[in-house]
Structure 1
Amino acid sequence: MIRIRKVLLVFLTIMLVLPSLLVSAASDEKDSKDEPTGKGSYSSKDEVVYGKLTANGDTKDAYVVNVFHVEEAGQILDYGSYTTLKNLTNTSELVQTNNQVEFAAPEGKFYYQGNMNEQPLPWDITITYLLDGKEIEPEALAGKDGHVKIIITTSENEDVDSVFFENYLLQVSLSLNLDLFQHIEAPDGMLANAGKNKQVSFTVMPEKEEKLVVEADVVDFELQGIDISAVPSSMPIDSPNIENMTGDLETLSDAIQDVNDGVAELENGVVELNNGVKELRSGSAQYKDGMSAIDASSSELVNGSQSIRQALEQINASLANSSEDMNMGDMKQLGEQLEQIANSLQNTSKDLSSLKESYAKDYGRLSRAIEDIPNSELTQAEKNQLYSSSANRSVVDQLIQTHEAAQAVKETYFAVKQNLAAVTGKLEKASASLTTMARNLEGIAGMLTSPPEGADLAQSLSKLQGGIDQLASQYRGFHSGLIEYTGGVHQLSSSYVEMHQGISQLAGGTGELENGVSELHDGTSELAVSTNDLPNEMKKEVNEMMAKYDNSDFKAVSFVSPKNEKINSVQFVLKTESIEQEEKEETEEAVEEEKGFWDKLLDLFR
């Protein structure tokens, strides 16, 4: 009875299982019969490259998921060097021969995976970790506390086709647990909250090698894998609207031209000033030489005047003491002496008159040159405005110093102008006095040398003595004035030497100023020319820059093999290993595994 029960149970079990086995066999037979034959075709192919990196950035594993958009079912050929293949669409077989993969694909999307062995990526990625300023290996960093610095360096891998480095954007992101990380800083990154994590993201532009830095204070360090993705920078970029900017640039260009025009006017003014100061220096030099000559001749003039004064006094004394003993011969001899003195006075008067004319000429040139210096004051506000302009600071310094020196010369001149102007009058007055005295002496001498007939000698001598006494007295006053005048001339000559030195320094300053302003004008002219078309140049630069980053015409190429065609897109998805603490082993009670269907079924027969 028990045996019959067991047989019935086995029979019942077979009846339950047999249909499913028959269905599975039929399904396998149907798949085999429905597998497409003949040559298939596809419209495009996508490649997604997945890479697993070590915590330091070295490539550990990589595989590619190939996606075909099949238009006509059939046999498809693909190219690539793979270590293993996996069909991700159905159970049809993938056959690889000499880097050529062949498979039967149905219409629609077909996926398969190819694992690569040590295939280099287009970028060299190096990740360095520092704890409290000292480099540390990532596996030793887990569980540590302190200030951590993560440096991610990206550069071109020259062993791989440069098309990826030149046209792909790299996007690097880290997720930091805010329970562990505080005071997060990423100078070139963007920070965003993501739940209890802080997301740090970086973007590396095509053709750029970057050094990305993240810093934070951490306790019990752990870090999820760093995500690195690469996609083509193929999105079109619209040129920005820079009309407002170009308007401002046009205003700037006009302002620069105005500055250049102003500097040109300044240069013309400085040239005129320099020419005027050169003329002033020339006139001042002649005036100084004239004053020196007058000063040098002063002693000779005084000595000559002293001799005349002594002669007159001697004649006066002789007439006073010996007039009774004089005869006609003595009077004639005295008349001849007086004629000689009169001639000396006439010559001295002529010398003074000539000196007066020469002095007046030199003084006139000097006066006109100094008075041509503009009489203006530079306020501190105007000086500050000059310094705040675009003019060269050294040129502005020279301009201000020259202006101050010119004003100082002018101020000094006007301080002594009265004395300088008085010299002409004094020379003229002295010359006139000498002429008058000479004429008086000539008259007296004529009376002595040719006395009128019947003249009373005693009466004539008395008149002569009175005239000579008066003349001698006048001459003493003239001689004292002459001494005072020559003293003033000497003092004026000495002081004017210093004034002339100031004028010479001023001339040197204006010469340097002219050179400086000329160089400044050359610079502003060059700047005005270079910025004349600034708005259009700005537009050109912007268009060139936008064209550099606009890769909308980029055509994707296969990462796996250059033989692959109809490539629609290639993307890279990379992730580093996480840095985690090792879990402590825990003793757990062994749990009896739940029995499966067949074990329970067999238990019925035991």
Structure 2
Amino acid sequence: MMRKKQILLVFLAAVLVLPSFLVSAATSETISTTASEENNPASGTFTSKDEVVYAALSPNGIMEEIYVVNIFEVLEPGTIIDYGNYTSVKNLTNLSTIEQSGNKIELDAPEGKFFYQGNMKNERLPWNFAISYYLDGEEIDPASLPGKDGHVQIKIETTANEGVETTFYENYLLQISLTLDTDLFRNIEAEDASMANAGKNKQITFTGMPEEDGEFVVEADVTEFEMKGIEIAAVPYNMSFDGPDMDDMTGDMESLTDAIRQINEGVFDLNNGVIDLNSGVFELRNGSAEFQGGMTEINDASTELIDGSAMINEALATINEAVGENTIDFDFEIIDMSELEQLPNSLSQLANGIDETADVLASIHETYSEAYASLDEAMQNIPEYDISDEDIERLYESGVDEEIIDQLVETYHAARQASGTYDRLKEGLDTVDTRLGEMAASSKQVSEILKVVSVELESALEDMDLADITDSFTQLEEGMAELSSSYNEFHNGLLSYTNGVAELSNGYNELHSGIVQLSNGTDELESGVGELYDGTNELYESTNRLPDQMKEEIDKMIAEFDRSDFEPVSFVSADNNEINSVQFVIRTENISMDEAEETTEEEEEKSFWQKLWDLFFG
């Protein structure tokens, strides 16, 4: 205790003597410096200047205090001129006086680092900060928050401060940090924020990008609310970007665009093939309609043909029977020989009609075969690329217009579906091709048979002379028997033929109905494939520059965030030069109980000697 008292007495003596000594020394130094400057004034030089702007905000984000710490890297000691709209300045390096005249600041700086502080009033930051607090969904004054329980929400909004140099808003990154005591705060949520543990505290950091207004929200359940001030740092956004390796990416895109090109070319060939097919099927439909009409007429005529042939057959049988019984009436009025003589001509005309039908069928078959071959070639030209879902997803992520990508995917699936449908229908199309050829050949055979029968019947009728019957009755009897027998066979064959014609006509009605449906289908197919080609062509034209467009977009995106050409400017005055960096350190007031204020009041009540005692011996 005695030792402490001795130290105290020595210290008090020093305190009593020190002021006069300091005044004397300062005066002496000032005189010496002034005399030196008058005799040899020196102008100092500096290589760079940094500005650190410190700002204190209310809990709501309202400016309360702002000052700037200026840092010079002095190359040659001497007088340095700086500029700033300060209400007062303070030397933070030594005891030399800083002269202030309006916005002009004159200081005597030694070599090395030199610091001085400039206090400002009514100065505005480049950003506006609006901070709102909500408790259980209701907005609340932050002064009323300490000690409260419930669900709290803190919303921080940042916007550009109009009228302030825009360089900082356009080129600076904001880092907004909140420190929450996990003994008080639980179930903390902060979208788009990074969270880190710092002891028992949870550090929450938001990032505000240059040239962007921001809205940041923190929510939590709290007990006895108390929170440290929100810290905001603003620094130049000087993140460097290395351009990505575009070779693999553009290679994939080129493969994709090449696939789109081949699909488009395949759809083009498909479209032409379908046009040819539809044209051929349309001709087939018209020819089939004509053929159907001819078959109907032939079928309708068959009834009359059979009836006439039956009468002739019956007449010949009657004549043969009468001749055989020697009871023939030589008047022959019961027989209409003119009808018999017309039969070969009728059969010949029928054969010619069937010939024409066969020619129509052959023409239809040729047209169908050509159209079918064109369709088959077009369908075979559809690429068989298998584009995976991963490829499609990568295309969606490339930044290409999604409407174009949707068309591409729709085109791809439509082409694959068209190819699959064609594979399933190919067997039926082959069958139609084969049956048309068989029908044309069969019709030709029927025509040839009828022609043979017509010639033989005409020859038989020419050899038969009824005037000689009375003289050659025996010859007549034999001839009539042979004619009756031959004609009966012909009549039976004619019955078979007409039955076949009836079946063919009925069957062809169904075939024609199918051809009509086929024509309607190919017409719709032509329209659909035409639209498909329009879509793939538009898609190809939109994506053929996809690799270049992708590179341009990436370069554009990098350029938006590249601040490599940013030149720092002074926050306090445009007259300042050699600016190396300007940083902002901003903090809001703590929101806490009144303990700090009570402690401050107690300290203010202590005397100077009590404070001095606490400083050295407390």
Give me the TM-score of the superposition, normalised by structure 2: 0.78
- Residues 446 and 292 (structure 1), Cα distance of their counterparts in 2 relative to 1, 3 Å cut: same
Q: Is the 8 A contact 1:335 1:448 kept in 2?
A: no
Residue in 2 aligned with 1:133? Answer: 137
Paired residues for 1:37-436 under 5 Å: 37=37, 38=41, 40-43=43-46, 44-70=48-74, 76-90=80-94, 93-103=97-107, 105=109, 109-234=113-238, 237=240, 239=242, 242-243=244-245, 246-261=247-262, 263-265=264-266, 267-269=268-270, 271-272=272-273, 274-317=275-318, 320-321=321-322, 324=327, 326-327=329-330, 330=332, 338-363=340-365, 365-366=367-368, 374=376, 391-393=408-410, 396-397=413-414, 400-401=417-418, 404=421, 407-408=424-425, 410-411=427-428, 414=431, 421=438, 424-425=441-442, 428-429=445-446, 432-433=449-450, 435-436=452-453
- Aligned counterparts of 1:278 and 1:324: Cα–Cα separation in 2: 68
- Residues 348 and 400 (structure 1), Cα distance of their counterparts in 2 relative to 1, 3 Å cut: same
Residue in 1 aligned with 2:464? Answer: 447
1:411 maps to a residue whose letter is: G
Q: Shift of the alpha carbon at 1:134? A: 3.3
- Residues 468 and 476 (structure 1), Cα distance of their counterparts in 2 relative to 1, 3 Å cut: same
Paired residues for 1:464-475 under 5 Å: 464-475=479-490
2:21 is matched with which residue: 20, 23, 32? 23
Q: Shift of the alpha carbon at 1:90? A: 4.8
Residue ranges of structure 1 left out of the alignment (5+ in a row): 1-13, 598-606
Q: Shift of the alpha carbon at 1:374? A: 4.9
Q: Shift of the alpha carbon at 1:398? A: 6.3
| Worse-superposed segment, 395-404 or 40-49 | 395-404
Q: Shift of the alpha carbon at 1:496? A: 1.5
Query: Deviations 1:412-456 (Å, cap 9, x if unpaired)?
Result: 77389669835753663465256426533542454225649xx73
Q: Shift of the alpha carbon at 1:192? A: 1.7
Query: Deviations 1:121-152 (Å, cap 9, x if unpaired)?
Result: 10111112233333332222222223322222
2:534 is matched with which residue: 515, 519, 542? 519
1:53 maps to a residue whose letter is: L
Q: Is the 8 A contact 1:288 1:493 kept in 2?
A: no
State the structure with more CA Rg.
1
Q: Is the 8 A contact 1:148 1:217 kept in 2?
A: yes
Query: Deviations 1:376-430 (Å, cap 9, x if unpaired)?
Result: 999xxx8987999865425633663575368547527738966983575366346
Residue in 2 aligned with 1:559? Answer: 571
Matched pairs, number: 571
- Residues 339 and 424 (structure 1), Cα distance of their counterparts in 2 relative to 1, 3 Å cut: same
- Aligned counterparts of 1:21 and 1:132: Cα–Cα separation in 2: 58
SS of 1:314 mapped into structure 2: helix
Q: Shift of the alpha carbon at 1:507? A: 1.8
1:578 is matched with which residue: 586, 590, 602? 590
Q: Shift of the alpha carbon at 1:466? A: 1.8
Q: Is the 8 A contact 1:39 1:76 kept in 2?
A: no
- Residues 257 and 336 (structure 1), Cα distance of their counterparts in 2 relative to 1, 3 Å cut: closer
Q: Shift of the alpha carbon at 1:51? A: 0.8
1:272 maps to a residue whose letter is: G
Q: Shift of the alpha carbon at 1:594? A: 8.3
- Residues 331 and 389 (structure 1), Cα distance of their counterparts in 2 relative to 1, 3 Å cut: farther
Query: Deviations 1:139-169 (Å, cap 9, x if unpaired)?
Result: 2222222332222222211210111112222
1:492 maps to a residue whose letter is: G
- Residues 413 and 155 (structure 1), Cα distance of their counterparts in 2 relative to 1, 3 Å cut: same
- Residues 360 and 188 (structure 1), Cα distance of their counterparts in 2 relative to 1, 3 Å cut: closer
1:443 maps to a residue whose letter is: A
1:500 maps to a residue whose letter is: I
Residue in 2 aligned with 1:9? Answer: none
Identity %: 28
SS of 1:477 mapped into structure 2: helix
- Residues 227 and 279 (structure 1), Cα distance of their counterparts in 2 relative to 1, 3 Å cut: same
1:63 maps to a residue whose letter is: Y
Q: Shift of the alpha carbon at 1:342? A: 3.4
- Residues 195 and 19 (structure 1), Cα distance of their counterparts in 2 relative to 1, 3 Å cut: closer
- Aligned counterparts of 2:112 and 2:418: Cα–Cα separation in 1: 87
- Aligned counterparts of 1:162 and 1:298: Cα–Cα separation in 2: 96
- Aligned counterparts of 1:17 and 1:57: Cα–Cα separation in 2: 43
- Aligned counterparts of 1:224 and 1:458: Cα–Cα separation in 2: 144
SS of 1:154 mapped into structure 2: strand
- Aligned counterparts of 1:18 and 1:355: Cα–Cα separation in 2: 140
Residue in 2 aligned with 1:7? Answer: none
Query: Deviations 1:59-110 (Å, cap 9, x if unpaired)?
Result: 1111223334455665554333233343444555555444334455556554
Q: Shift of the alpha carbon at 1:272? A: 3.2
2:30 maps to a residue whose letter is: S
Q: Is the 8 A contact 1:280 1:503 kept in 2?
A: yes
- Residues 131 and 475 (structure 1), Cα distance of their counterparts in 2 relative to 1, 3 Å cut: same
SS of 2:465 mapped into structure 1: helix
Q: Is the 8 A contact 1:79 1:560 kept in 2?
A: yes
- Aligned counterparts of 1:144 and 1:283: Cα–Cα separation in 2: 89
Q: Is the 8 A contact 2:369 2:433 kept in 1?
A: no
| Worse-superposed segment, 567-576 or 360-369 | 360-369
- Aligned counterparts of 1:29 and 1:595: Cα–Cα separation in 2: 26
Q: Is the 8 A contact 2:134 2:154 kept in 1?
A: yes
2:50 maps to a residue whose letter is: D
1:342 maps to a residue whose letter is: P
Q: Is the 8 A contact 2:379 2:419 kept in 1?
A: no
- Aligned counterparts of 1:497 and 1:80: Cα–Cα separation in 2: 98
Give me the TM-score of the superposition, normalised by structure 1: 0.79
- Aligned counterparts of 2:604 and 2:540: Cα–Cα separation in 1: 92
Q: Is the 8 A contact 2:73 2:113 kept in 1?
A: yes
1:448 maps to a residue whose letter is: D
- Aligned counterparts of 2:524 and 2:530: Cα–Cα separation in 1: 10
Query: Deviations 1:468-520 (Å, cap 9, x if unpaired)?
Result: 43245234413432441232133123201321123213422441354245335
2:345 maps to a residue whose letter is: N
Q: Is the 8 A contact 2:184 2:222 kept in 1?
A: yes
Q: Is the 8 A contact 1:409 1:499 kept in 2?
A: no
Q: Is the 8 A contact 1:336 1:449 kept in 2?
A: no
Q: Shift of the alpha carbon at 1:563? A: 2.3
SS of 1:432 mapped into structure 2: helix
| Worse-superposed segment, 406-415 or 272-281 | 406-415
- Aligned counterparts of 1:387 and 1:104: Cα–Cα separation in 2: 71
Query: Deviations 1:5-39 (Å, cap 9, x if unpaired)?
Result: xxxxxxxxx99999657634532331331334346
- Aligned counterparts of 1:113 and 1:269: Cα–Cα separation in 2: 80
Q: Shift of the alpha carbon at 1:312? A: 3.8
- Residues 515 and 321 (structure 1), Cα distance of their counterparts in 2 relative to 1, 3 Å cut: same
- Aligned counterparts of 1:64 and 1:16: Cα–Cα separation in 2: 35
Q: Shift of the alpha carbon at 1:204? A: 2.3
Residue in 2 aligned with 1:456? Answer: 471
1:260 maps to a residue whose letter is: R
- Aligned counterparts of 2:252 and 2:32: Cα–Cα separation in 1: 76
1:225 maps to a residue whose letter is: G
Paired residues for 1:588-603 under 5 Å: none
